[in-house]
Amino acid sequence: MNDFTFFNPVRVLFGSGSFDQIGERVAGIGKHAMLVTGRSAARKSGLLDRATGLLEAAGVDVTVFDRIMPNPTDEIVDEGGEMARREGVDVIVALGGGSSMDAAKGIAIAATHEAPISEFLRVQDKRTPTEATLPIICATTTSGTASEVTPFAVISTVSETMKSAIANDFIYPRVAIIDPELTITCPASVTANTGADVLAHAMEGYFSTAASPLTDLFAERAIYLVGRHLPRAVEACGDLQEREQMSFANLCAGYVLSNCGASVIHALEHPISAHYPEVAHGAGLATMMAKWAELYWEHDPYKFGRIAHLLGRGIPGASVEQSAEFAADAISGLLSRIGLEVSLEDLGVQRSEIERMVDDALSYMGGAVAKTPGDLTRDDLIKLMEASYSSGGS
């Protein structure tokens, strides 16, 4: 067995009702919180009022910043950072999905460093966050990005049409509140998109050159749980038991992501949603996952065979490796059941832009590409995107 390291410093509060602890947890860290959330969902569901009430009851002053959009931009993060600085905020609380959590992490940096957040995202001469970064607490309302347990903040830089990530231990949240009851109000389409993200984190980490026997355990559990529970969570959004299983799948995949990082599918998806901000992260990933398995199953027959088995498409009684070629079908079958058997063309991507997006991926997601087994070349990436372009393949 190879040596490995595993690190995750986030205190996880998992379970229905755990959100009630938000006041005391935030009060243990700061006196003035900025609640970072989206433009309407938390307000409509009453969660924003509930959070404000719990924080104030615990003696914490609250400033609300409710301007986060999907694929959050450097501009909105700088705006939040400026407000946090002006108001004297000393702890950032994210309330929402990946966009709110990633923006909150950016705001925690922007509020405490004399520079626009884009300087922490650019390819060359990138700045590094310091220990001055404000502490962060995340309460997640989706089962998707696992940002609540990772050191990553994905933010789009508008002037450069770039969606890149800050990766730094100072933006690990101090506390992750994972209350499956909060995900009940998540619409079916968002449940499907975020569930596809969970599958991608687990799968990409499973094959990553940074994978370890420990992350493999989490990855296999996450893949199995997504296969078993995501379709039902999409069909019956109010089923708390399915939501709990997806919350746990997301947490497992988060431990994979925080230790292995993402690989080729995320590397290619970031330029897609940078150029097409209306494309949901999970939908962009969904276009390429099955094609990747179809093209690369022979590179690791054991692990692709395991995926086929975990998703219920393994050949009973045969060796694991003999099921490897069915992994692609198993993945596309699952995506089909959640309404996400989509192509790049379906998402409105122009075929003529594939080479440019591959070059972008190599420019600012090159580290993720390098973690993918097989020494993928520029041509390999183009081939994968071409194969994912239309529903019938290339």
Binding site residues, Fe ion, CB under 5 A: 197
Q: CA 218, CA 252: separation in Å to the nearest integer? A: 5
Least separation in angstroms between CB 285 and Fe ion: 7
Q: Which residues pair with 35 in a beta bridge?
A: 64, 93
Contacts 24+ apart (CB under 8 A), 329-333: 329/290, 330/227, 331/199, 331/289, 331/290, 331/293, 331/307, 332/290
Of the two residues 107 and 365, which places its CB atom closer to Fe ion in the complex? 365
Of the two residues 107 and 267, which places its CB atom closer to Fe ion in the complex? 267
Least separation in angstroms between CB 311 and Fe ion: 19
CB 190 within 8 A of CB 298: no
Contacts 24+ apart (CB under 8 A), 234-241: 234/188, 234/191, 234/192, 234/195, 234/337, 234/338, 234/339, 235/188, 237/184, 237/185, 237/186, 237/187, 237/188, 237/191, 238/184, 240/16, 240/180, 240/181, 240/184
Least separation in angstroms between CB 86 and Fe ion: 32
Candidates 362, 371, 382; CA nearest to 164 is: 362
Candidates 216, 196, 154, 206; CA nearest to 331 is: 196
Least separation in angstroms between CB 125 and Fe ion: 26
Of the two residues 197 and 244, which places its CB atom closer to Fe ion in the complex? 197
Helix (H, G, I), strand (E, B) or coil at 72: coil
Of the two residues 91 and 369, which places its CB atom closer to Fe ion in the complex? 369
Of the two residues 280 and 327, which places its CB atom closer to Fe ion in the complex? 280
Of the two residues 197 and 242, which places its CB atom closer to Fe ion in the complex? 197
Q: In this chain, which residue has its C-beta nearest to Fe ion?
A: 197
Least separation in angstroms between CB 341 and Fe ion: 19
Least separation in angstroms between CB 23 and Fe ion: 30
How many Cα atoms are found within 13 Å in the side-chain-facing hemisphere of 364? Answer: 27
Of the two residues 218 and 326, which places its CB atom closer to Fe ion in the complex? 218
CB 389 within 8 A of CB 272: no
Of the two residues 60 and 381, which places its CB atom closer to Fe ion in the complex? 381
Strands 152-157 and 136-140, bridge-based pairing: unpaired
Least separation in angstroms between CB 281 and Fe ion: 6
For 121, 221, 338, 361, the CA distances from 334, given in Å and listed in that order, are 34, 16, 7, 27
Least separation in angstroms between CB 21 and Fe ion: 27
